[in-house]
Amino acid sequence: SITGSIIGAYTIEMLNRTLLRLEIEPATIKVFKAVFIIILMVLSSPVVRVFMKKALDRFRSWRLSISQPKENALSTTNIAEKKEE
């Protein structure tokens, strides 16, 4: 997409300028940019996206199962309600 290309170009330029200000040698900057681009390409691949979606779904369902109170567990409100009866 055009938007992704523009954001990518600005991101790489920001990385380039940051590394230049840190006085890193130009040859090393090329390595940083190459590694950065490879990482972005891997993250945007369909295989990784499917894997990350499944992992995120598993994490969300795990988090929901922890946050929901168990039906058999007695809470302090349940105990107070039973005493009133």
Q: What is the pLDDT along the chain (85 residues), one digit of tens a residue?
A: 788 889 888 998 999 999 999 999 989 999 999 999 899 888 888 898 899 899 999 988 888 888 776 655 555 555 555 555 5
Residue 21 confidence (pLDDT):
93
Query: Could you give phi then psi for residue 72, rounded to 5 degrees?
Result: -85, -15
Residue 38 confidence (pLDDT):
92
Q: How far apart are the first and last CA of the chain?
A: 64
Tokens of 44: 């945007």
| 36 contacts: CB under 8 Å, gap ≥ 6 | 12, 15
List the domain boundaries for the chain: 2-84
CA angle in degrees (0–180, nearest 5) for 16-10-23: 15
